Amino acid sequence: DAVIAAVTAQNRFARRVNMEVASHTALMDPVLPELREALADLAPNVATIPFLSTVVDPTTEPLLDAAYWADNVRRPVRFSQAITTAAQDYGTFIEISPHPVLTNAVSDTLKSTPHRSIETLHRDTDDTLTFHTQLNTTQPPQTEHDAEPHTLIPTTPWHRTNHWMAARKKLHGAVSAPSPGTLLGTHIGVAGQSPTHLWQALLMSQGKPYPGSHRVDGLEIVPLSVLLQTLSSAAAKLGASNVGDVRFERPIFIDRPQVIQVVADDQSIMVSSAPDIDTPVQRWVKHVSARISSESEAHRDHSDHLGDDVPHGYDAASLSELQHAWGIEGRPYPWSIDSSSSTPGRLHVDVNVPKASTVALLDAAINLGRLVDSSNPALMVPADAEGVHFAADLTDGQGSIDVRRRSGDGNELVVDIAVTGSNGETCIDVRGLRYVDVESRSPAAPLDADPRTSAHAIAWQPWDAADVGQAPTDAPGTIAVLGEDDSARVLRDRLSSVGYSSADVDEAKCVLYVAGPGPGGETDLDYAVRVSKEVADLVRRLVERADRYPATMWIVTRGVREAASDAALRQSCLWGVAGVIGAEQPQLWGGLVDIADDEDIVDCAPALSTILASSAKSILALRGGEFLASSLVPIAGEPVREPLRCHSDAAYLITGGMGVLGLLMAGWLADRGARRLILAGRTPLPPRRDWDGDIDDADVRHRIAAIRALERRGVAVDAVALDVGSREQVEALLARRDADGAPLIRGVIHAAGLTEGQLLTELDEARLHSTMWPKIAGARVLHEAFPPTSLDFFYLTASAGTVFGIAGQGAYAAGNAYLDCLARARHRQGGHTVSLDWVAWKGLGFGSDAQVVVQELARLGSRPITPDEAFTAWEFVDRHDISQALMAPMHTAQADPSAAAELAPVREWAQLSSEDLHAELENGLVAILANELRTSEDAVQVDLPFAEMGLNSVMAMSIRRAVEQLVGLELSVTMLWNHPTIASFAGYLAKQLVPDDDTAADGDAADDSSVLDSLFDSIETT
pLDDT of residue 714: 81
Pairing relationship of beta strands 745-750 and 793-799 according to DSSP bridges = parallel
302 pLDDT above the threshold of 50: no
pLDDT of residue 947: 72
Residue percentage of the chain with pLDDT more than 70: 84
d(C-alpha 823, C-alpha 345), whole Å: 58
Q: Which amino acid, one-letter code, is at 305?
A: H
Nearest to 821 by CA among 766, 864, 783, 773: 783
Q: Other CB atoms closer than 10 Å to residue 394's CB: what's the count?
A: 24
Q: Work out whether the CA dihedral 233, 236, 238, 242 comes out positive or negative.
A: positive
Query: Is the Cβ–Cβ distance between 786 and 794 less than 8 Å?
Result: yes
Question: How many residues comprise the chain?
Answer: 1022
Q: Work out whether the CA dihedral 25, 29, 34, 38 comes out positive or negative.
A: positive
pLDDT band at 307 (very low <50, low <70, confident <90, very high): very low
| Beta-bridge partner residues of 798 | 837
Q: 806 CB contacts (<8 Å, ≥6 apart)?
A: 579, 580, 583, 813, 853, 856, 1021, 1022
pLDDT band at 301 (very low <50, low <70, confident <90, very high): very low
d(C-alpha 619, C-alpha 627), whole Å: 10
Q: 367 CB contacts (<8 Å, ≥6 apart)?
A: 319, 323
pLDDT of residue 254: 86
In this predicted structure, which of 222-236, 527-541, 545-559 has the lowest mean pLDDT? 545-559
pLDDT band at 442 (very low <50, low <70, confident <90, very high): very low
pLDDT of residue 159: 66
Tens digits of per-residue pLDDT, 335-379? 888 888 878 788 888 988 888 888 888 888 888 888 887 777 777
- Average pLDDT of span 91-117: 88
Taking all residues of the chain, what is their mean pLDDT, rounded to a whole number?
81
Q: Other CB atoms closer than 10 Å to residue 467's CB: what's the count?
A: 9
Nearest to 780 by CA among 725, 834, 734: 725
Tens digits of per-residue pLDDT, 387-438? 888 877 777 888 889 999 886 555 678 889 999 888 888 888 998 888 887 6
pLDDT band at 449 (very low <50, low <70, confident <90, very high): low
Query: Is the Cβ–Cβ distance between 677 and 707 less than 8 Å?
Result: no
pLDDT band at 533 (very low <50, low <70, confident <90, very high): very high
116 pLDDT above the threshold of 90: no
CATH architecture of 186-293: Roll (3.10)
Nearest to 196 by CA among 109, 275, 264, 118: 264
Query: Is the Cβ–Cβ distance between 516 and 487 less than 8 Å?
Result: yes
Count Cβ neighbours within 10 Å for each residue of 118-149 and write b for 16 or more, e otherwise. bbbbbeeeeeeeeeeebeeeeeeeeeeeeeee
| Beta-bridge partner residues of 628 | 462, 621
Give me the active site residues, please. 214, 363
Tens digits of per-residue pLDDT, 577-607? 999 998 888 888 899 999 999 888 888 988 9
Nearest to 186 by CA among 170, 175, 197, 196: 175
Tell me if 458-551+559-634 shares its fold with 651-900.
Answer: yes
pLDDT band at 566 (very low <50, low <70, confident <90, very high): very high
Tens digits of per-residue pLDDT, 176-222? 889 999 999 988 877 655 677 889 999 988 888 998 888 887 788 99
pTM of the model: 0.61
724 pLDDT above the threshold of 90: yes
CATH architecture of 458-551+559-634: 3-Layer(aba) Sandwich (3.40)
Tell how far CA 161 is from the center of its chain. Answer: 37
* Secondary structure class of 487 (helix, strand, coil): helix
Tens digits of per-residue pLDDT, 864-895? 888 888 998 999 999 999 999 999 888 655 44
pLDDT of residue 281: 46
- Average pLDDT of span 60-87: 89
Phi-psi group of 732: left, alpha or beta (phi > 0 → left; psi -120 to 50 → alpha; rest → beta):
alpha
Q: Other CB atoms closer than 10 Å to residue 948's CB: what's the count?
A: 10
pLDDT of residue 447: 42
* Secondary structure class of 384 (helix, strand, coil): strand
Task: Compare 347 and 277 and report the one with higher pLDDT.
Answer: 347
Q: In CATH, what class is 909-1016?
A: mainly alpha
| Beta-bridge partner residues of 437 | 380
Q: Which amino acid, one-letter code, is at 393?
A: D
Tens digits of per-residue pLDDT, 792-846? 999 999 988 888 888 878 899 999 999 999 999 999 999 999 999 998 888 776 5
Task: Compare 164 and 693 and report the one with higher pLDDT.
Answer: 693
In this predicted structure, which of 189-203, 229-243, 737-751, 940-954 has the lowest mean pLDDT? 940-954
Phi, psi (rounded to 5 degrees) for 707: -65, -40
d(C-alpha 559, C-alpha 825), whole Å: 11
pLDDT band at 999 (very low <50, low <70, confident <90, very high): very low
* Secondary structure class of 1002 (helix, strand, coil): coil
Alpha-carbon distance values, 616 to 261, 509, 553, 559, 628 (Å): 56, 16, 11, 19, 11
Q: Other CB atoms closer than 10 Å to residue 777's CB: what's the count?
A: 24
Q: For domain 316-437, say whether CATH 3.10.129.120 is its number.
A: yes
pLDDT of residue 280: 46
Torsion angle, CA of 261/264/269/275, rounded to 10 degrees?
Answer: -10
Tens digits of per-residue pLDDT, 457-499? 999 999 887 665 555 555 578 999 999 888 899 999 998 888 8
pLDDT of residue 314: 57
Query: Is the Cβ–Cβ distance between 470 and 494 less than 8 Å?
Result: no
CATH number of 651-900: 3.40.50.720
* Secondary structure class of 270 (helix, strand, coil): strand
Task: Compare 574 and 167 and report the one with higher pLDDT.
Answer: 574
CATH number of 2-137: 3.40.366.10
- Average pLDDT of span 841-852: 62
Torsion angle, CA of 26/28/34/40, rounded to 10 degrees?
Answer: -90
pLDDT of residue 1021: 34
850 pLDDT above the threshold of 60: no
pLDDT band at 787 (very low <50, low <70, confident <90, very high): very high
Q: Work out whether the CA dihedral 561, 566, 569, 570 comes out positive or negative.
A: negative
* Secondary structure class of 842 (helix, strand, coil): coil
Domain ranges of the chain: 2-137, 186-293, 316-437, 458-551+559-634, 651-900, 909-1016
